[in-house]
Amino acid sequence: MIRAEQNGLGLVEDELVSNAMLLLLAGHIAVRNFIGNAVWLLFQHPDEFGKLKANPGLMHQAIEETLRFESPVAAIPRVPLQDFDYRGARIKKGEIVQLVISSANRDPRVFANPERFDIDRRPGAWSVSVTARTPAWELSSRARKLGLHWKRVQT
């Protein structure tokens, strides 16, 4: 990142620090926390663990359900670079916006029986989370899925 440049421009110090923190948090801490959460949830829900042992084909759904039910990242702060409206609220440039993942993942308008850990839960409304893909892509992809369509959000 330090040496990367495009059109003769590189990252400034604040951008380098922000990206390094994002990689540390999303690339290491979130993965570590996810693994612990997955093991804990499967031990707390032996019926679900039994289903997974009997049918390893449920692994992808078990991963997504773990991310939904016990996300390794509870909230993600963002600072918009321009004013925008979202669901009737005016968000101003420079205001800190918290994307509260843990709350979004328990929204009964999106998930049937949101307080239930269910590895049979079918895809459709995937959880809001940071996954193993590149963190910046994943965050912007999940924000778009939530309907957050601002042009650029500062990390």
pLDDT of residue 153: 36
Pick from 14-18, 89-93, 108-112, 114-118: least confident: 14-18
129: nearest Cα among 118, 119, 140, 139: 139
- In the three-class reduction of DSSP (H, G, I as helix; E, B as strand; rest coil), residue 98 is classed as strand
> Tell me, what's the pLDDT at 40?
97
pLDDT of 34 above 60 = yes
- Domains, in order of start, for the chain: 11-154 (1.10.630.10)
- Does the pLDDT value for residue 150 go beyond 50? no
What pTM was estimated for this model as a whole? 0.64
